[in-house]
Amino acid sequence: MNNQEYAKIILNELNQTIPHIDVDKAEQMKQLILQADEIFCAGAGRSGFQVKGFAMRLMHMGLKSYVVGETCTPNIGKDGLLVICSGSGSTKSLVCHAQKAKDIGAKIALITIDPDSPIAQMADVVIEISAPSPKSAKAGAITSIQPMGSLFEQSEGLFMDCMIMMLMEAKHMDSDTMFGRHANLE
């Protein structure tokens, strides 16, 4: 197969995930972000890369956003929101982050494949993305030609971009207003 044929298959796979995300849950996540004093973003591996992009876009909107584990990330408080991206919802380090946030009284939003995972049990809102992954409890329910958890990682990235657009609409922002916060030390 060539790249165009693979692209068509991948786009068809994404069409099985993104349009099926619960609209009410997405709205709940948007409200949690708008109500939070600060937003802390966490993920491991490729999900971690995706959530870092989300933290950047939140910063472009003028929101206080941080990536968990970075050296300049402050402590989370009771008015903070922890956004976790985890296909399995059971990555040990992320479970520990969720428990710490819960103990402090912060809110938790989880983007995951498994809505019954340990992190999901602690979360205030769970965004379920039905995608296959080697670590998924639902392996085999949806198939993908892509390796490992690629479909989930792409889907979570696209969902977070959708969330940014929902937040932009709520805050009456556009790309031009956001670009004013783009990094200038490049």
Return the pLDDT at 29. 98
What is the spatial order of strands in the sheet that 125-128 belongs to? 65-67, 38-43, 80-85, 107-112, 125-128
Domains recognised in the chain with CATH numbers = 22-175 (3.40.50.10490)
The per-residue pLDDT for range 74-90, each reduced to its tens digit, is: 999 999 999 999 999 99
Return the pLDDT at 36. 98
Return the pLDDT at 140. 52
Return the pLDDT at 172. 93
The per-residue pLDDT for range 91-117, each reduced to its tens digit, is: 999 999 999 999 999 999 999 999 999
Catalytic residue among 13, 38, 128, 153: 153
Spans of the chain below 70 pLDDT:
133-141
Q: What is the pTM of this model?
A: 0.92
- As a whole number of angstroms, the distance between CA 136 and CA 168 comes to 32
Kindly report the backbone phi and psi dihedral angles of residue 95, in degrees, each rounded to the nearest multiple of 5, phi listed first: -60, -45
Return the pLDDT at 178. 79
Q: Which helix (H) or strand (E) holds 97?
A: helix 92-104
The question of whether 169 is a catalytic residue gets the answer: no
C-beta separation of 82 from 96 below 8 A: no
